[in-house]
Amino acid sequence: MRSKGKGRFVFFCLAPAAILFVIFMIIPTIDVFRMSLFKWGGYTADKTFVGLKNFSILFKSPKFYQSFQNTILLIVVVTVVTFSTSLIFAAILSREKIKGQNFFRVIFYIPNILSVVVIAAIFSAIYDPDKGLMNTFLNLFRGVEGEQNPILWLGSQKLVIYSIVIAMIWQAIGYYMVMYMASMANIPESLYESAALEGAGRITQFFQITLPLIWTNIRTTLTFFIISTINMSFLFVKAMTGGGPDGASNVFLSYMYQEAYTNSSYGYGMSIGTIVFVFSFALAGILNAVTKRDEIEF
């Protein structure tokens, strides 16, 4: 009787969350797959079943491959720079005796508190061709030529995506640095002392002790960050460039948004959403398999 009562209690506790998950996650996801098989503007009742035609058009579109390339570039560059920098800063602030450690923690964490819109406004001002900080600094070395021919950081097809990269890295570093500092704080100091007695330097200790012992945390945050980068890139692109110039800064989700809601090609937009879902799911699975290690206990 007690087991039945306990089972009912667990069921009634989990049922609301399960129902909400089905309504707001499972059903909309299935509906994305379903709508990708239709030609529909999104604002009328006229729907035409076209099967896989939307996907056929998608894989022939240069704009899709441009957005795919930009997404891959953001995932690779932002992830590598953010995580390497976060780990280095976390190790320095955790291991070295630096005055005002708490101050640096707060300063590094502030960008994560700000909304993407605020960060976009800050970097748009920095990248301003006439009075922006970037061009003002570079003009110290370029002289008159720099003033006459300012660099268009958000207006150049070659530079715009890298300008967004810098903003995304600046926003994310502090958050992951604080997370890694919390993990490093749990590592016994005796391990470092023993390693130092054996002649291991700071760098060797970092790679042989610190990284292996916080690897589980790194693995979890890495998967989370890469998937969230796909979502965050849309917010930065939407706030800073709107996908311009001429689609040069478009990523997966901004391209999907344009097609579904601006160009009134909702079915085509949902085919892009389907590809994004499959890509994210596959990427998470590959990442989990590649980063799998035996857990080290101490």
Single-letter residue type at 196: A
- CB neighbours of 291 closer than 8 A, spacing ≥ 6? 215, 218, 219, 222, 223
- Distance between CA atoms of residues 10 and 30, nearest Å: 28
- In the structure encoding, which two tokens stand for residue 208, read together? 């042989």
pLDDT recorded at residue 247:
87
Contact assessment for residue 265 and residue 255, using Cβ atoms and an 8 Å cutoff: no
Single-letter residue type at 202: R
pLDDT recorded at residue 119:
93
Calculate the CA 90 to chain-centre distance.
20
- CB neighbours of 82 closer than 8 A, spacing ≥ 6? 168, 169, 172, 173, 176, 225
- Walk along the chain (298 residues) in steps of 10 and give the mean pLDDT of each run: 69 87 90 90 81 91 93 93 92 80 83 90 91 86 74 90 94 91 87 87 88 88 88 92 89 91 86 92 88 68
Q: Which residues does residue 48 pair with via DSSP β-bridges, in sequence order?
A: 39
